[in-house]
Structure formats: C-alpha cells, structure tokens
C-alpha cells in the first residue's frame, strides 16, 4: 500500500485506509466506506469502519444509512481530521 496525504475529499476512494485524529489527540485507523456530505454539516465527511477500536455506529447518521459495517465499528470523520491515507 502506498501512503499519501490527501488534499481534498476527492483524493479519497472507497476502501482506502485512512489514519485520522480523534478527540484528545488519539489517532485511529480504518477503511473508508463513504465520502460525502451529511445533513446539516458543511464539511465533507468520511464514513470509516475502524480496524481495532470501537466506533459509534454501523453506518447510520440521524436514522439514515450511509454505509454498512460491523456493529459499533463505524465513525464519521470530518475530512480535515485525516492525517494520512493509503490506497489498497
């Protein structure tokens, strides 16, 4: 896998792996399952299935399904939180 630093959400493809910062400065990593906008949010978001730690959902946001993943392995991440990405 070749690492790169994405400059815009358009640089990210589904199934790419991303590393991103979370609350408290913690870094997490997972596979991208969704790229786009969420209702009421101006930033672009990534739907990510986490590799190791627990997330918050299985791909739903405010009752709407945006992607599917294992229960409690999904998170939505603002694009500006992405630190690095890898193409599979």
pLDDT tens by residue, 32-49: 999 999 999 999 999 999
pLDDT at 2: 85
Domain map (residue ranges) of the chain: 2-87
For the stretch 7-38, pLDDT in tens is: 999 999 999 999 999 988 899 999 999 999 99
Q: Which fold has domain 2-87?
A: SH3 type barrels. (2.30.30)
To the nearest whole number, what is the mean pLDDT of the chain?
95
22 vs 37, 45, 65, 75, 78, CA distance in Å?
Answer: 19, 14, 22, 10, 10
Copy the structure tokens of residue 62. Answer: 């405010």
**pTM (predicted TM-score):** 0.93
Model confidence at 4, in pLDDT bands (50, 70, 90)?
very high
The pLDDT of residue 24: 87
């Amino acid at each position: 896998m070749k690492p790169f630093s994405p400059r815009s959400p358009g640089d990210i493809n589904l199934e790419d792996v991303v590393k991103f910062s979370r609350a408290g400065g913690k870094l997490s990593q997972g596979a991208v399952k969704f790229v786009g906008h969420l209702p009421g949010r101006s930033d672009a978001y990534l739907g990510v299935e986490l590799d190791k730690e627990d997330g918050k959902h299985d791909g739903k946001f405010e009752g709407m399904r945006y992607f599917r993943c294992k229960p409690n392995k999904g998170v939505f991440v603002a694009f500006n939180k992405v630190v690095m990405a890898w193409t599979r």
